């Protein structure tokens, strides 16, 4: 097995850890987004009964969404069955929307439970749903330690939100 190093992720993880420490004192960014009524400024795609979908502010690729329970809980087993079912339905719809809007070669769906597992915000469970393309880690990523995101969050939000409403 070959090991690939991704040192550019270190800065992101350090920042996320610092932000998490700040959020303990100031509140949870996901809970704050949920209570903010302005979906456009918080990039909320969908609000469900027990969960919501939002764009990731630090995306790996355009269209990187987070599916988040309304209940502030660190682990899946802390949530009621109804919420877990809704999370899975929203994850499914998110991947259908990504296929429609971006036509990716693949889709990553994942969850990092706990800080040691890589969760940037460990106290509020969330799932990542993001499109992937063959060789989407281009020369900028590997040589310049930079990721190129060609579409603004505002445009991504508009495209995804429109598709979300159309897909049943």
| pLDDT per residue as tens digits for the range 138-167 | 544 544 456 667 788 999 999 999 999 998
Q: What pTM did the predictor assign?
A: 0.79
Domain count, the chain: 1
Give domain status of residue 157, yes or no. yes
C-alpha–C-alpha distance, residues 125 and 112, integer Å: 8
Which domain covers residue 65, as residue numbers? 9-166
Give domain status of residue 4, yes or no. no
| 12 vs 118: which has the higher pLDDT | 118
- Spell out the residues 6+ positions from residue 116 whose beta carbon is closer than 8 angstroms to its own: none
Give domain status of residue 106, yes or no. yes
Predicted confidence (pLDDT) at residue 54 exceeds the cutoff of 90: yes
pLDDT at 25: 46
pLDDT at 134: 87
Give domain status of residue 138, yes or no. yes
Measured CA to CA in angstroms, residue 124 lies from 63, 68, 153 at distances of 21, 8, 22
Q: 64, 124, 126, 128: which one is catalytic? A: 126
Based on the residue annotation, tell me whether 78 is a catalytic residue of this protein: no
Maximum mean pLDDT: which of 10-19, 49-58, 108-117, 132-141: 49-58
Give domain status of residue 1, yes or no. no
Give domain status of residue 91, yes or no. yes
Give domain status of residue 66, yes or no. yes
Give domain status of residue 40, yes or no. yes
| Torsion angle of the four alpha carbons 61, 108, 103, 68, in this order, in degrees rounded to the nearest 10 | -80
Residue 87: which CATH number?
3.30.428.10
């Amino acid at each position: 097995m070959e090991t690939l190093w991704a040192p550019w992720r270190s800065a992101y993880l350090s920042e996320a850890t610092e932000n998490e420490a700040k959020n303990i004192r100031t509140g949870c960014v996901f809970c704050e987004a949920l209570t903010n009524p302005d979906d456009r400024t918080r990039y909320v795609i969908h609000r469900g009964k027990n969960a919501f979908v939002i764009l990731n502010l630090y995306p790996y690729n355009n269209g990187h969404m987070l599916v988040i329970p309304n209940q502030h809980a660190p682990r899946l087993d802390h949530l009621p069955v109804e919420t877990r079912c809704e999370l899975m339905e929203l994850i499914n719809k998110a991947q259908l929307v990504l296929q429609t809007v971006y036509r990716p070669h693949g889709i990553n769906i994942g969850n990092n439970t706990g800080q040691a597992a890589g969760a940037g915000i460990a106290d509020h469970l969330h799932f990542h749903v993001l499109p992937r393309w063959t060789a989407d880690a281009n020369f900028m990523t590997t040589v310049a330690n930079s990721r190129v995101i060609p579409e603004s969050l505002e445009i991504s939000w508009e495209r995804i939100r429109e598709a979300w409403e159309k897909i049943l």
